[in-house]
Amino acid sequence: MRILLTLLILSLLSACGSSSYDQSREWRLQECEKILDDLDRGNCKKNTPHYQ
């Protein structure tokens, strides 16, 4: 029973961390859109993790 409870807590913590990562990634992509130069904007998006 303790093992299941521990696994549940760890999975919830990892989900919270993942959500925070997604929010910061989305914010960064929104900031990239504000860059006027096409090359710089493309580099910003390319350097953002998992941008497709």
5-9, 38-42, 43-47 — most confident range: 38-42
Which residues neighbour 32 within 8 Å (Cβ) at sequence distance 6 or greater? 41, 44, 45, 48
Calculate helix-pair angle for 2-33, 38-46, nearest 10 degrees: 170
Residue pair 45/29 in contact by the 8 Å Cβ criterion: yes
pTM for the structure as a whole: 0.55
Return the pLDDT at 51.
46
- The structural domains of the chain, with segments of one domain joined by +, span 2-46
Nearest alpha-carbon partner for 41 in 28, 50, 49, 32: 32
pLDDT tens-digit map of 2-39 = 776 666 565 555 555 566 778 888 898 899 999 999 99
Whether the pLDDT of residue 52 is over 50: the answer is no
Q: How confident is the model at residue 48 (pLDDT cuts 50, 70, 90)?
A: confident
